[in-house]
Amino acid sequence: MAASPTPKPSRAKSAEPGAHPGAVALSAWAARHWGQDLPTRIGVAFSAGADSTALLLAAHAQWGERVLALHVHHGLQAAADAFEATARATCARHGIALVSQRVNAHGAAGQSPEDAARQARYRALAALAQASGASWVLLGQHLDDQAETVLLALSRGAGLPGLAAMPDAFSREGVHFGRPWLGIASADLRAWLQRQGEHYVDDPSNQDTRFTRSRIRHQLAPAWAGAFEGYREALSRTAGHAAQAQRLLDELATADLASIGHPPTLAALQGLSRDRQANALRHWLRSDEGVAASAAQLDELLDQIDACRTRGHRIHIKVANGFVVRAQDRLAYTPSV
């Protein structure tokens, strides 16, 4: 499923005192993605934290028994049992169905703990959703998370896909995921929960500055907020512009690959400008092979393509867990065994 254009960030204005700050945004998101075709079952990723609690209650208020909570027990810290207990208590209090799954979120050697936990979480959420008949899972990421994602991408020297940050809808593991609150500030959600007297948990790892996102949240974000009022909204707009630009580049790559082949032929590639070659190759590797070349790898590959003017010229460039190689008149990707 193609990601939709990122909505403009805006702080939701309550229609009346006590109104949920995310209710209007949730309805607008649902209208864009579902129209009149409301899913029979709607999952909400529910950690029992503030953001997911606010989202679960808003979704349940709008769609009632169609909504169920999906809780993933990561097993990474002693507080995980308390998170699950709080999630069950909240759902019992509001009459919301809950299903949960325990996972091993410890990463492989060399994998970051954050990445390992994220991948395990998505696999578990997709499995829970499919077992429960939910075709969509809603996620509680908000405006602050989007701004942090842009800052993280900037710190890593990311290109447009990184600067585009989080789309408001995407598919993974055979399930659709939605982020209806990328324009809603975390402070507004927490203030509403406090007014309602709703209990939620704070994950201790969110305070641990060994993790990159925590450092951004506690060290970098306050500095930006002090220097630039409205920086979160501005960074979210940047993400929207980057996402639009990336969609245009993807359209160009699709058109180029339609003429130069899948996988691309060398002679046809050489007929494109270097920038269009790079764009087409990134798209080919990502869409056909599911891998991404680093900047250094892509530069080396482009140099080799330019130099490949004889029948005997060999190309063998390491990319991700495999190699881009020359196969007669075209390129090929061969994963490592």
Per-domain boundaries in the chain: 23-230, 261-335
Token digits of residue 220: 């970098």
pLDDT tens-digit readout, 106-151: 655 555 667 777 888 999 999 999 999 999 999 999 999 999 999 9
CA 244/CA 132 separation, integer angstroms: 34
Return phi, psi of residue 109, to 5°. Answer: -60, 130
| Element holding 240 (H helix, E strand) | helix 231-260
CATH topology of domain 23-230: Rossmann fold (3.40.50)
Closest CA to 44 of 119, 113, 128, 117: 128
pLDDT over 70 (residue 303): yes
Yes or no: say if 5 and 240 are a contact pair by the CB < 8 Å rule.
yes
261-335 belongs to CATH 3.30.465? yes
- DSSP, collapsed to helix, strand or coil, labels residue 169 as strand
- For the entire predicted model, the pTM comes to 0.86
CA 44/CA 70 separation, integer angstroms: 6
pLDDT over 70 (residue 294): yes
pLDDT over 90 (residue 30): yes
Yes or no: say if 22 and 181 are a contact pair by the CB < 8 Å rule.
yes
Yes or no: say if 198 and 251 are a contact pair by the CB < 8 Å rule.
no
pLDDT tens-digit readout, 225-263: 999 999 999 999 999 999 999 999 999 999 999 999 989
pLDDT tens-digit readout, 154-190: 999 999 999 999 999 999 999 999 999 999 999 999 9
Mean pLDDT of the chain: 90
Ranges assigned E (strand) in the chain? 42-45, 67-73, 97-102, 136-138, 169-172, 175-178, 316-319, 322-327, 330-335
261-335 has the same fold as 23-230: no
State the pLDDT at residue 7: 43
CA 137/CA 175 separation, integer angstroms: 7
CA 304/CA 298 separation, integer angstroms: 10
CA 98/CA 284 separation, integer angstroms: 41
State the pLDDT at residue 124: 94
CA 291/CA 319 separation, integer angstroms: 8
